[in-house]
Amino acid sequence: MHRSSDSGSSPSLRSPRAFALFYAIVIAAAALLFAVFAPGLGAPRWLTVAVVGVLMLASEWNPIALPGGGYATASAAFDLPSLVILGPFVTAALDVVCTLLVQGAALRKPPLKVAFNLACFAITDFAAGAAFTAAGGHIGSLSLARDVPALLACGGAYFLANSTLVSMVIGLAEGPSPWRVWQRNFQTGLMHHLSFIALGTLVAVTYFGAGPWGIVLFAIPFLVARQAFRLVMEIRSDLKDFVRALTEVLDEIDPYTRHHSMRVAAYSVRLARALKLPEHAIEELEYAALVHDLGKIGPRHQRIVQTPGALSGEDLRVLREHPAAGAAIVSKVRALTRAAAIVRSHHEQPDGRGYPYGLLGDDVPFEARILKVMDAFDAMTSDRPYRRALTPPDAIAQIERGAGTEFDTRVVGCLLDLHRGGKFPLLPSPSREDLELLRIRPVRARS
C-alpha cells in the first residue's frame, strides 16, 4: 500500500485549489463507500480479523520512502487476502484502524495527511473488492483454477487505484505532473509492487487450505520481500546522493563548475520534460548533468578554463579530453553506465564536428544533445572569471544560430518555445565578484 507524503501540512502547494478539491473528493468518496457497503456486512470471522489486523499493523510500521515522494508499505500482501476472505468493508475498516494507530497515535502525523491516507486505503480496498466480485469472484471462498481472472482483476484494481491516488496528490502538491510521479514511483519498480500482490494471492490460497494460522506462515516471506523492496528504494536514493556528493568534489576544485552543474541539471530536467522524455531517461540525464564536468577536476583543465582569450592547440586538445575523462570516472559505478555515455557525448555535435569522437547526428544520445544545449545556455548566461554573462535572449539567439550544426534542432526548437511562452526562467548564478570569493574560500579552509 502506498501513501502520500506530508504534503497535507505543507505551507506552499503547487496547485492549492486543485489539491484541496482533490483531497475533499477523496475523503467524501471514502465516507460514501463506507455508508453504502455497511448495510450488507455479515458476521465477521473474528479470529481471522484478529490475525489479519495484527499483520496489517506490523506492515504499517517503518514505511519505505519512494524516490518521487510519498511512502510505501507492503500491506498489499495482507490486504488482498483480506479482501477475498473478509470482504472490502472489513478490510477497509482494518486499514483505517491500523492507520489511526500507527500514523495518528504512534507517529503523530498531521491530521489532514492521516485523513487522506485513511480515505486512500478505503477507496483502494473498495475498488479492488468490487473488481474481484465483478470478475466472478465470491467473497469468503476461493478456487484458484476458477478465480484466476477475479484475482487478477482484484490485484490490478488495487494497484491502479492506490498508485493513481498517491500520484495525484503528490503531483498536485509538489510536482511534477501526476503521470511523471507515477512513472518515477511505480513504473520503474513495477515488478516489486506486483510481487506483493502475487504474495497476497498465495496468502489467500493458503488460508482456504490451512485456515487463519496459515496466514502467519507468510510472515517471514513477507518480511524478506519488504526488506528487498526497501533495499532497492534505498539504493536508488543513495545513488542520487552519491552523484550529488561527486559535485561536492568539484566544489573543492572549482566552485564555479559545481554551481554550473547544478543549474545545468535543473535546466536539463525542465527541458527534457517539455520534450516528453520518460522519467527513467530524465533521471539518467539529471545524473549526467550533475557530473558532466567531472573530467575538469585536474589542474591542467582548471588552468585552461580560466584562461581568457584564444586557446592554443595543445590547450584545446587537453580540454577536449574532459568528456571521456569524466565518463571514465562515472562508469566505475555500474548503475551509472547510461549516465556515463551521456557525459562522454555531451560535446558531440549533429554535424560530426564535436568531440571526443566526432559522432554524427543520431549517433549522439538524445539526452546528451539536451545536455549540450543546456550546458551552453548556462555558460552564456552566467558570469565567467574573464567575461560578463549574456542576457537570455542573446544566449538563445546564439544557440538558435547553431541549430542543426552545433546543436540539435528539436532540442533548440523546444527551448525557443519555452522561452517565448515565458516558461524557461533564468536560474540565479553567482556574479564574477562572488566567484572570486568562492575560489578563495576552499584555499583558506585548507590553510
What string of DSSP letters covers 386-439?
Answer: TBPPPPHHHHHHHHHHTBTTTB-HHHHHHHHHHHHTT--PPPP---HHHHHHHH
Of residues 70 and 342, the one with the higher pLDDT is: 342
Task: Judge whether residue 218 has pLDDT over 50.
Answer: yes
Q: What is the pLDDT of residues 24-54, one digit of tens each?
A: 999 999 999 999 887 666 666 788 888 888 8
What average pLDDT is seen over the chain? 83
pLDDT given for residue 442 in this prediction: 44
In 3D, which of 369, 352, 181 has the Cα closest to residue 288? 369
Q: What value does the mean pLDDT take over residues 163-172?
A: 90
Q: Is 87 exposed, middle or buried (0-12, 13-18, 19+ CB in 10 A)?
A: buried
Query: In the chain, what percentage of residues exceed pLDDT 70?
Result: 83
Q: Within a 10 A sphere around the Cβ of 149, how many other Cβ atoms?
A: 12
Region of 361 please: left (phi>0), alpha (psi -120 to 50) or beta: left
Confidence of residue 256 (pLDDT cuts 50, 70, 90): low
pLDDT tens for residues 93-105? 999 999 899 888 8
Whether the pLDDT of residue 252 is over 80: the answer is: no
Residue 380: is its pLDDT beyond 90? yes
User: Per-residue pLDDT for 403 more than 80?
Assistant: yes
**pLDDT higher at 167 or 75:** 167
Sign, CA torsion 102/104/106/110: positive
The grid coordinates of residue 253 equal 576544485
The residues, ordered by sequence, that sit 6+ positions from 142 with a Cβ below 8 Å of its Cβ are 84, 204, 205, 208
How does residue 3 score in pLDDT terms, banded at 50, 70 and 90?
A: low
> Residue 384 has what DSSP assignment?
B
DSSP string spanning 40-89? G-----HHHHHHHHHHHHHHHSSPEEPTTSSEE--THHHHHHHHHHH-HH
pTM (predicted TM-score): 0.75
- What structural domains does the chain harbor? 2-217 (1.10.1760.20), 239-446 (1.10.3210.10)
Angle, vertex CA 384, rays to CA 365 and CA 411, nearest 5: 25
The whole-angstrom separation of Cα 78 and Cα 62 is 16
